[in-house]
Chains A and B, each alone.
Chain A
Amino acid sequence: MNRPGASPHRIPHSMSESTQTETDTEASETPTVLIVDDEKPITDAYAKWLEGEYEVRTAYSGSEAVDQLDAAVDVILLDRRMPDLSGEDVLDEIHARKLTCRVALVSAVEPDFDILELGFDAYLEKPVSDADELVETVETLLRRSTYDVQMQRFLALANKKAALETKKSPEELEASDEYASLRSELADLRARLSDTATRLDDDDLRVEFRDRTD
């Protein structure tokens, strides 16, 4: 039941479900945003806009970005054209390391069809002159990420429950602690998913389905 059509950046979710579920769903955790741009003033301006809301990291080159990347990063704002390692190289590294962060590609180049192959989550056209636009983008990515992670987990648990129900007799299920805890986790997750889904607008959902139906 895996999705053959899923874009590469989504695949890692299943591999670090448990940790990701915690970082993304606990309201107390401040999300971490990594800003990458070789033009220092731009990077610093973005950092200033986002500092109040998020844990902010900055990198002034692709290789610095690679150093700063780890599982704690939720969203990365990534300049596409940089001298040493380009944004696309950093993207490759993110996929290679199976990191779960959401990527907004920031570029002065107008998006063309070639970008569809790159595997990112949002495209911001430079110059980004408005703090609200940036915050909006980060919020959107965090919202989608939360939904996606919870959904992935929900589907995995639903599969597991169904597999047990197929193999075991009702009496065996009745006696199984694993089955009982699966059921309660599913019910709990279902309620949380419902909360998350309430915040998703039609655009978020189009993105949610885009990779699957093309």
Chain B
Amino acid sequence: MNIDTSDRRQLETCSNVLLLAPLTPTGTRACFELLAATTPPEEANVAAVTYTPPPETWISDWRTHVETLPAELAFVHANQVQTAGDDDLPEGVTVARVDPNQPMDIIAPLTEQLTRWEDNGNRSLVAVQTLTILLEYVDFDTAFRYLHILTHRVEAAGAIGFYHMDPDIHDEETVNTLKTLFDAVVEVGDDGESWSVTETYGDRSATSDHVQTHDTDVSLPDSGDSLFSTIRDSLSGLFSGSETTGPSSDSAVESATGNGTGAERDGSAATGDSGVGDLPDGAMLTDEDRIRELLSQYGGRMKQVDVTEETDWSKSTVSRKLSKMEEKGLITRVQVGRGNLVFLSGYEPETTKSPFEGESS
């Protein structure tokens, strides 16, 4: 693959990146590590636009994957359910709680935040997690226009935006249509091992595909500070953990999530081929507890097919158990694209507008 000078120049002005990754802990991890690799946390202002996991969950996941919190951190949390952890946020972290149905309620505070950071000497990054949930709230056309304005504002502020989306949930046409709004697309496979970077408006040959050959790519010329090379470098090291833990990508996922959420779990949890949901005291957990545990590891929402995969129960068993849980109000299921998304109670998209508007910080 050759990237000529003009391509590289374009990549250097790259401001908005679509991150196609599964809606799993692997995807979250990819998102965080990409952010951290673009700019060291000590020099970064991070504005996170979040939908389901509350800020405190975001922060603990970040600490698991990256450790050092960004120099400046602000949330625009598009979910009006108050969570208990609000008072425990680290000092200086702000949260604007907004109505996810109103795109301008997200754009306006985000723009203000980026303006406040403009001259503080750090690089500003925006993480939108995730478009998959955003598309639950507004129709496609509105989402498209909203994202156009958002990407424009991010670019105007000299920031870099990362927008996560699970490509398996949406049809190919939807994903391809959205791609036109971004400068580059980074795709991380389900296994977290295969990935590619494509420049949306450049030469189509400027695509780098990598499947477990991260460090053998030497054909790319050194392109200085371009975002493209930063992304490339960051991805090279992204899933290096999985190379040392053997061929099973599950084990990599597990060790990552095990560290993050397993305060009550002991270290021996990360044993080989067991799934995320297999806890050492699994025998003591009811099936419902197990599903809830899984859901919280996934950030409060996951695909129904992932529940099936993680538990090794049959599709119909999972469906039956989830129906029961839904009846009890423990979870909510929403049909998205080709399948169901399962939301832990308190994390679900609100179908009706909440009377509570405005900000809290």
User: What residues make up the interface of A, taking CB atoms closer than 8 Å to B?
Assistant: 1-5, 151, 154-155, 157-159, 161-163, 165-166, 170, 174, 183, 186-187, 190, 193-194, 197-198, 200, 202, 205-206, 208-209, 212-213
Sample of 16 more A-B contacts, CB < 8 Å, known A151-B145, A158-B180, A202-B108: A3-B139, A151-B148, A155-B141, A158-B177, A158-B178, A161-B180, A166-B176, A186-B180, A190-B201, A198-B156, A202-B107, A209-B104, A212-B139, A212-B142, A213-B138, A213-B142
Contact yes or no, A2 B104, CB < 8 A = no
One of A155, A166, A170 near B144 (C-beta < 8 A): A155
Is the pair A165, B108 in contact by a Cβ cutoff of 8 Å? Answer: no
Interface residues on B, range: 20 to 34
**Which among A200, A208, A213 has the greatest number of chain B C-beta atoms within 10 A?**
A213
A170 contacts across to B, CB distance below 8 A: 204
Instruction: Point out the residue from A3, A187, A193, A198 that lies within 8 Å of B142, measured CB to CB.
Output: A3
Q: Given A161-B176, A190-B180, A190-B201, are A212 and B141 neighbors across the interface (CB < 8 Å)?
A: yes
Q: Is the interface of B mostly helix, strand, loop or mixed?
A: helix
B residues 68-114 near A (Cβ < 8 Å) are 101-104, 107-108, 111
Whole-angstrom distance from the CB of A170 to the nearest CB of chain B? Answer: 8
Looking at the assembled complex, report how far the CB atom of A5 sits from the nearest CB atom of chain B, in whole angstroms: 7
- Closest residue of chain B to A173, judged by CB? B204
| Cβ A209 vs Cβ B141 within 8 A | no
Closest to A162 in B: B176
- Interface membership of chain B positions 168-201, coded 1 if the CB is closer than 8 angstroms to chain A and 0 otherwise: 0000111111111100000000000000000001
B7 CB → nearest A CB, Å:
13
Shortest Cβ distance from B275 into chain A, in angstroms? Answer: 33
Known A-B contacts A161-B180, A165-B176; the reply to A2 vs B141 at CB < 8 A is yes
Q: Tell me the bound Cα distance from A197 to B101 in angstroms.
A: 21
Majority-rule SS of A interface residues: helix
Q: In the docked arrangement, what's the CA distance between A183 and B146, Å? A: 22
CB distance from A171 to the nearest CB of B (A): 11
Among A158, A187, A198, A213, point to the contact of B101 (Cβ < 8 A).
A213
Q: Which residues of A contact B103 (CB under 8 A)?
A: 209, 213
How distant is B1 from chain A, measured CB to nearest CB, in Å? Answer: 14
A206's closest neighbor in chain B, by CB?
B104
* Closest chain A residue to B139, Cβ basis: A3
Q: Which residue of B lies closest to A151 (CB)?
A: B145
Cβ contacts under 8 Å, B204 to chain A: 170, 174
Question: Is the C-beta of B140 less than 8 angstroms from some C-beta in chain A?
Answer: yes
Distance of A189 Cα from B204 Cα, bound (Å): 19
- On chain A, the residues within 8 Å of B290 by CB distance are none
Which B residues are CB-close (under 8 A) to A162? 172-177, 179-180
Enumerate chain B residues within 8 angstroms of A194, measured Cβ to Cβ: 152, 155
Per-residue contact bits, chain B 130-169, to A (CB 8 Å; 1 contact, 0 not): 0000000011111011101100100110000000000000
The distance from the CB of A32 to the nearest CB of chain B, in whole angstroms, is 26
Cα(A209)–Cα(B176), bound, Å: 23
Contact A1 B140 (CB under 8 A): yes
CB pair A205–B142 under 8 Å, yes or no, is no
Bound CA span A174–B107, Å:
37
Q: Would you give the shortest CB distance from A152 to chain B, in whole angstroms?
A: 9
Identity of the chain A residue whose Cβ is nearest the Cβ of B153 in the assembled complex = A197
- Sampled A-B contacts (24; CB under 8 Å): A5-B139, A154-B148, A158-B144, A158-B180, A161-B177, A162-B175, A162-B176, A162-B179, A165-B172, A165-B176, A166-B173, A166-B176, A170-B204, A174-B204, A186-B180, A190-B180, A193-B148, A197-B148, A200-B149, A202-B107, A209-B102, A209-B103, A212-B141, A213-B138
